[in-house]
Amino acid sequence: MKFLKYWRFLILAYMLTVTTYPCLAKGLQASFMPYPNMSHPIRIGLINKASQAYIALWEPGYVFIDNNPVFELKARQPYKLSQSRITDLSTGKSYPLPLTARAQIASSNYIFWANNKWWRGSLEIINFGNRITLINLLDIEDYLRGVVPSEMPYNWNIEALKAQAVAARSYAVAHTGHGSKWFKSEGYDLVPDVRDQAYKGLGNEHDSSTRAVISTTGVILKKAGSVKPGFYRAWVGNSNENLNLRHVSVNCQKLEALTGVPKIVGVTPKQWDATGNVNDLQIIGAKKSRDVYGVALAKILNLPTAGILDVRQAGNNWIFTCRGPGNGSLGLSQHGANMLANNGWQYQQILQHYYQDKDGKLELGSINNYINLSSNISNNFPQAYSYSSITK
């Protein structure tokens, strides 16, 4: 008797499965997984709790449930998602979406259409009964291919685009999972607009911005081993703040007393170290000249940093133009980054200029393993840090 009851239970369970998810009984097999290979997956909320949505695939694909293909999807055929079902608009054939698990939609080339754009990766569906949420699941590097040209013009200097890629990657890593303001309540990491970062999908990609992403693959901003959020804006404050520059006026008599050089007629930065601080500052007097250690002089003069770019005389004062102490929560100025790149700055120098720590140094790392890339920062700062060329 117990044996018969057991078999009745199995038959009932099978019938319920076939009724609820009929294609499970057909033995569908997919030659690809419901999600692409990802070294660092990220989830972007494309549509949140809408009553309906339309999707399509570039190549034939499937609806997956629990990693199993349950419903075949044609290439470039629109499907409607509503009322807990996915429906083929050409035939009316439909399939139920689960309430207790995320359904996944993918094609062999992992390109899909939703919210009027084509996207890389796969699609996750959260079904709330009468509402649905669509989530783009993809690798962070593929995500950045759509972010960088959406945040910065693709025809800007490649070094500015690289700096943008690192800043955007750092922001994304810092705001995934527990760092996300959306994950706990909505189930995704980021949104594709200015509330996080502009992300306009496959159609907005360009070769130059993709090259910037690939050439900086995995590189992020770090501080004490943790990810530093790469905040950035189009413009940051006034023209000086936009380039992260500061001006400090020093009385001639004070400078002469500190340096021991009377009747100063020129102050010239001669050599910078790897962090952009002045090692050698030449003080030229009418009858006597000497070189001083710029870092020590900057500290005595209470300059924001020892990154002295230019010194000019204005009446009875010397005006020191130096790099600011970092823009903090303001972060990188996109227009400023492009101006600096157009004057020969490498992307590491640009990042250091805007994201340096209090000691004037920049810590770069990778997403998975810490690496110190400071050796890649050029020592050729006399040419790269030419303030007069920047302001022309």
Q: What is the pLDDT along the chain (392 residues), one digit of tens a residue?
A: 444 444 444 444 444 444 444 544 457 899 999 999 999 999 999 999 999 999 999 999 999 999 999 999 999 999 999 999 999 999 999 999 999 999 999 999 999 999 999 999 999 999 999 999 999 999 999 999 999 999 999 999 999 999 999 999 999 999 998 889 999 999 999 999 888 899 999 989 999 999 999 999 999 998 877 888 877 766 544 545 555 677 899 999 999 999 999 999 889 887 777 556 788 888 988 888 899 998 899 989 988 888 787 888 889 999 998 876 644 445 788 888 999 999 999 999 999 888 887 777 788 889 864 333 433 333 333 333 332 333 32
Half-sphere exposure of 154 (CA within 13 A, CB side): 16
pLDDT of residue 375: 33
d(CA 81, CA 384): 54
For residue 237, which of 343, 339, 345, 327 has the smallest C-alpha distance? Answer: 327
Distance CA 15, CA 248 (A): 81
Helix or strand or coil: residue 33? coil
Tallying the residues shown for the chain, one arrives at 392
- The pair of three-digit structure tokens given for residue 338, joined into one six-digit string: 């492009």
pLDDT value at residue 118: 95
**Segment 239-244 long-range contacts (CB within 8 Å, at least 24 positions apart):** 241/324, 241/327, 241/330, 241/333, 242/333, 242/335, 242/336, 243/333, 243/336, 243/339, 243/340, 243/390, 244/323, 244/324, 244/326, 244/327, 244/333, 244/336, 244/353, 244/354
Q: Given CA atoms 300, 303, 309, 312 in this order, what sign does their dihedral have? A: negative
Distance separating alpha carbons of residues 127 and 49, to the nearest angstrom: 9
Query: For 61-114, how does the pLDDT look when each residue is reduced to its tens digit (9 = 90+)?
Result: 999 999 999 999 999 999 999 999 999 999 999 999 999 999 999 999 999 999
Q: Which residues contact 180 (CB under 8 A, 6 or more apart)?
A: 188, 189, 190
pTM of the model as a whole:
0.72
Residues 6 or more apart whose CB falls under 8 angstroms from that of 60 comprise: 72, 73, 74, 75, 107, 108
Contact 310, 387 (CB under 8 A): yes
Does an H or E element contain 295, and which? helix 294-300
Which long-range contacts does 281-288 make (Cβ < 8 Å, 24+ apart)? 281/308, 283/255, 283/259, 285/256, 285/261, 286/262, 287/262, 287/263, 288/261, 288/262
Bridge-based pairing state of the strands 317-323 and 132-139: unpaired
Residue 101 CA, distance from chain mean position: 30
Nearest-angstrom CA–CA distance, 392 and 387 = 9
- Determine the pLDDT at residue 318: 93
